[in-house]
Amino acid sequence: MVSMKQEEIFQLIFSVMDRIRGFVDCEEYKDIILPLLFYKHISDVWIKNKDEETGKNEIKETIKISDNNSFYDIFAKIEKDNKVRILEKALLLIEKDNPDVLKGVFEYTILEGLRRSRDSQIETEAIIGAIEIINQIDLKHDYVNQKEHVSIGEVFENALNIFASISRFGEFMTPIEISHLFSEIIKPKKGDQIYDPAIGTGSLLLRVLDHKRTRNFEIFGQEVNKRNWALCKMNMIIHGHLDANIALGNTLLNPQFLQGDSIQKFDIVISNPPFSVKNWNYEHLQKDPYNRYKRGIPPGSNADYAFISHMIESLKEKQGRMGILVSHGVLFKRRKEGEIRRKIVEENLIEAVIGLPEKMLYGTSIPVAIVILKKQKEDTDILFIDASKGFEEGKSLNTLRVQDIKRIASTYTEKKEIENYSRIVKIEEIITNEYNLNIRRYVDSSEIKEKIDIKWAIKEIEQLEYELNQTRNRTTELIKELYKIIKERE
């Protein structure tokens, strides 16, 4: 197969979507198409690396595929027998051959759809048609197009974004530009342990790391949704992170990364957790065994500060740094949340608050903010940046341009004060404002008003008054003339 452009691959993906439309709900497109792409990729890699003489794969960090169980073997059998049951068995065997890496990955995604289509010849033919189309995509190399430097990881990520744009799945995705901004601000270093407690499909964390073009990190993440967890595992493997530690479960109720009886500590903690989660098991965490809520227990109707509290407790004491995407309510809400925020400020953990434009996320049009926290800060100031005006407007989503990202990152890194854009605020002012972190309290981003020439304005007013008096006099004369005419006619 020849090198393919990314556009050609996506044309084929859209063809797959057309093939299964009507038989599979659009919410489930990703659960069929992405696992098939993944199966094709791991098969291509296995075959490419296979030693022809011994029949063994000498690459340790790869997925094992049994004899006669590659994508091509199964494609040939399905074409002959016209049964998707063959594919179902093949995927289960791959999970069995790679239990530490793949257990549950196919079970929680494509297998449900395959089992449902067993007894339907029409659905079977639709899925077989999808497999035929995906067979045309060459996924054996790190780059599907070396000349254009289009990586397999980019193809998978952009496919995720396609599905995010057409379904509610977008709630679990972080836009590429926001991920790049995180990377420029957080600045991960080689050897860092980096953790996302609400990792979703892994897009935010992977974009942060891939933007630095190195794989020398230890990756940790936890996800409560089984399908997203499975897609995250695929995403990590396709990006070359077979050793990524991705746990399945509820981070708030049952955190998986522990050190003894305490929460495990990391160099970097980043996340785009779900906003305003209700029913987050508040009643079960009144006495949290890990002491995450020592600053106060968040209200049962909103888990925003539950995630924030968990993330703070996950930071290494000396070099820990954290970035979280939040709704603006986190910055100014009172009562329980206001009390927790007060203690976080008093502990000198908040380094910066960055306001972003509205309509940046799938599924919501509200403006959001990035809050940066850091252990062992050098001062007690907080940098406020109002970047809500710098973006490219889109039909459904607004996006940060390269210049917008650079401006935010340089303002943060150099701690610059820019009129109507950024300001360094002393802790005393924060206290005076009752620990309210609403960005507009500290940065006036309204457009600079035009300076007025007072002498010119006075002359203009005098001229207007003169013209107004002239009009009044003329109107009075006309009324008198009209009254005279009326009297003469009586």
pLDDT, tens digit, for every residue of 150-167? 577 877 888 887 777 666
What is the residue whose two structure tokens read 């002393």?
426
| 349-374 average pLDDT score | 91
If phi > 0 it is left, if psi is from -120 to 50 it is alpha, else beta; for residue 348 that is left
Contact 401, 391 (CB under 8 A): yes
- The whole-number average pLDDT for the span 78-99 is 87
Contact 203, 316 (CB under 8 A): no
- CATH superfamily name and code, 169-441: Vaccinia Virus protein VP39 (3.40.50.150)
CATH architecture, domain defined by 6-165: Up-down Bundle (1.20)
pLDDT given for residue 78 in this prediction? 83
From residue 289, alpha-carbon distances to 149, 263, 286, 303 in Å are 48, 10, 9, 18
- Is 144 a residue whose pLDDT tops 80? no
* Residue whose tokens read 């005098």: 462
28 pLDDT tier (thresholds 50, 70, 90): confident
Is the pLDDT confidence value at 388 over 70?
Answer: yes
Find the DSSP H helices in 50-173.
71-81, 85-97, 99-102, 110-117, 121-134, 152-166
Q: Which amino acid is at 186?
A: I
Most confident segment among 30-39, 127-136, 316-325, 469-478: 316-325
Strands 268-271 and 193-196, by their bridges, are parallel
Which of 4-8, 166-170, 385-389, 477-481 is modeled with the greatest confidence?
385-389
